[in-house]
Chains A and B, each alone.
Chain A
Amino acid sequence: MIGLADLYRAQFRTTLATQLQYRVALVIWLLGLVLSPVVYLAVWRAVATSQGGAVGGFTAGEFSAYFLATMVVNHATFTWIAWEFEYRVRQGTLSPLLLRPVHPVHRDVAENLSFKALTLVVVLPVAGLLSLAFRPTVATTPWAVLAFVPALALAIALRFAVEWTLALAAFWLTRVEALNRLYFLAALFLSGQAVPLALLPAPVRLLADLLPFRWFIAFPVELLLGRLSPAGALLGFAAQAGWLAVAIALLRVVWGRGVRRYGAVGA
């Protein structure tokens, strides 16, 4: 464990140093990240106002709160591994990683966390500034805010495990772009990023309940905003834990087979 902590520290420093070399690119990238939730937010606020103040139980102020929280949660949980992995497999840069006496997943976890730590420093104040402009209304409870912390941690772990496993498709497919697009489109709607799930038709909502996406975005967001009952919160934690177990088990199996294939066809 000490060795692993040391590795994470070293990887943390490396990522910070690398990212700080590209400050301008980082700022532009963050702008993009902020922009799309602001668009959703503006649209839904306009719809709510035109409908006489509320749509599907959301007032304009509640839409603001929902999309600002979603922006932060999406930022905390997102990964870019699916694109990176294809490059690694195609260019062979995975090979040196395989010959290190540590599982490559650690490098990605450490890199992801350190990148988030760096960018949250910007994202949180931006969310603060946006809330001055869009005046969110929040009626939450202390227990919900406290429960949000483990829910966010589980959400980060779950999304990482799901997307790392998805990224392994690169072992079998030469081009994973189509698959990635499909995944991100599904995630956009079924996680509650584009639309609060309550506004979706019932069959789609059922689908969202059954798939892992909502448990890593909509669930922590709704919890934080006090929109869930204690029972709903417990159900959410159970779903997160269950999906996390499934995703990790899948990750192990797929990784083992993928590496075997990589080693068979030419590393």
Chain B
Amino acid sequence: MVSVRGLRKIYVVPEREAGLGASLRSLVRRRSKEVVAVDGFDVEIGRGEVVGFLGPNGAGKTTTLKMLSGLLYPTAGEVTVLGHTPWRREKAFLRRMTLVMGQRNQLVWDIPVVDSFELNRAIYRIPDGEYRDTLAELTDLLDLEGLLRKPVRNLSLGERMKCEVAAALLHRPAMLFLDEPTLGLDVTAQRRIRGFIATYAERYGATVLLTSHYMADVEALCKRVVVIHHGRLLFDGSLAALITRFSPYKTVVIDLDGPVGDLGRYGEVVSVEEQRVTLRVPKGEAAAVTGRLLADLPVADLSIGDPPVDEVIDRVFSEEPEPASTAATGTAAR
């Protein structure tokens, strides 16, 4: 479905120092700098897989999605999506995929939502019967009834995003690239979109590659995650494996029958809420610490778990050093 080999993207950006002198100099001699956004990685995604694509801001996620969907030409590498080279933008390819970017609206601002849908029907040449069925289905799944007749500018952000997602799926694409589909939405709307994506992918056997800052999205939808950092592949596997690999800690939560003293000697105290204490303990010592806690203190309840995914991801991104080769970005005068 998706096959990526040695994908690289280097942007050439103009570079100028502040100040009038620098502005004048730049008239004569333009300086530019190469920025490596994606630094060569391989990945294979099979039909029907829902894959979370993670990385901090600037890791190269959006650049990669743009290359996979055909907006950007890579500097090097080979990509096949649905049997096509995306940046050729062949019609047969464009009819079978979609790219949803959280903050870009495709809907026509001033007219009712359903009129924008109608335009998409014509653009994608969706047969009438199929269009009616899909529209009914999307209306039901996303709860769009009541929104369809409203002009887009009168919708709330959450309502608009639901409509954007529906518009992007009217042609029943087999490949979905979703860039932050839940960005800025409240928890209810996020859950709704998330549930919908899962249902759609399952019903149509669609392949989904999704980026999100909300780990809840990823946990709910993706069995597999691909993590990139500084444009390189850092991890490819299950979410559970990601946690095992990158979190050297376990979280121990205890409820005490009695006063809570200083528990710093057992591990790092993360939080204390009334009688409940949460500790972070190195993975290897978890068993020993648990034993000591039970022996020393009036423990009413105890549980050991992995730290929240958010925390693990945070740690991966903040601690992983930048690889030496990408740190050196070339400076060239043109």
State the A residues within 8 Å of B (CB): 3, 6-7, 9-11, 13-14, 17-18, 21-22, 92-93, 95-96, 98-102, 260, 263-267
Contact = CB atoms under 8 A, between A and B. Distances in A.
Interface in B146-178: 151
A102 B121 CA distance: 12
B91 interface: yes
B287 interface: no
B270 interface: no
A10 B121 contact: yes
Contacts of A21: 110-111, 151
B47 to A, nearest CB: 21
5 contacts: A7-B122, A9-B122, A11-B122, A14-B119, A99-B98
A14 B121 contact: no
Contact of A10 (B66, B99, B119): B119
B332 to A, nearest CB: 15
Contacts of B110: 17-18, 21-22
Contacts of B98: 99
A98 B124 contact: no
Contact of A96 (B104, B112, B115, B119): B104
- Which among A3, A9, A93, A263 has the highest number of chain B CB atoms within 10 Å? A263
Contacts of A102: 91, 123
Given A10-B121, A17-B110, A100-B124, 14 more contacts: A10-B122, A10-B123, A14-B116, A17-B115, A18-B111, A22-B110, A95-B66, A98-B70, A99-B70, A99-B94, A99-B98, A100-B94, A265-B11, A267-B66
- Tell me the interface secondary structure of chain B in the complex: mixed
Given A14-B108, A17-B111, A93-B104, A101 B91 contact: yes
Given A10-B121, A11-B119, A263 B87 contact: yes
Interface in B111-134: 111-112, 115-116, 118-119, 121-125
B72 interface: yes
B241 interface: no
A101 B72 contact: no
B119 A100 contact: no
B223 interface: no
A96 B118 CA distance: 16
B136 interface: no
Interface residues of B, number: 32
Interface of B: 11-12, 66, 69-73, 87, 89, 91, 94-95, 98-99, 101, 104, 106, 108, 110-112, 115-116, 118-119, 121-125, 151
A266 to B, nearest CB: 6
Nearest to A11: B119
A266 B123 contact: no
B115 A92 contact: no
A11 B91 CA distance: 19
Given A95-B71, A99-B71, A100-B94, A265 B108 contact: no
Contacts of B116: 14
Contacts of A11: 119, 122
Contacts of A9: 122
B121 to A, nearest CB: 7
Contact of B95 (A14, A98, A101): A101
Nearest to B97: A99
Nearest to A18: B110
A11 B99 CA distance: 22
A253 B52 CA distance: 39
A25 to B, nearest CB: 12
Contacts of A95: 66, 71, 101, 104
A100 B123 contact: yes
A6 B118 contact: no
Contacts of B70: 98-99
Contacts of A93: 104
Given A7-B122, A11-B119, A101-B123, A96 B89 contact: no
A139 B20 CA distance: 62
Contacts of B119: 10-11, 14
Nearest to B119: A10
B97 to A, nearest CB: 8
B94 A101 contact: yes
Nearest to B98: A99
A100 B119 CA distance: 11
A263 B122 contact: no
A265 B12 contact: yes
Nearest to A261: B73
A100 B126 CA distance: 13
A263 B11 CA distance: 10
Closest 7 CB pairs of A and B: A10-B122, A101-B94, A267-B71, A101-B91, A263-B73, A7-B122, A17-B111
B330 to A, nearest CB: 17
- Which among B110, B122, B151 has the highest number of chain A CB atoms within 10 Å? B122
Nearest to A17: B111
A20 to B, nearest CB: 9
Nearest to A13: B115
A263 B123 contact: no
A18 B12 contact: no
A92 B11 contact: no
Contacts of B121: 10
Nearest to B93: A101
Nearest to B91: A101
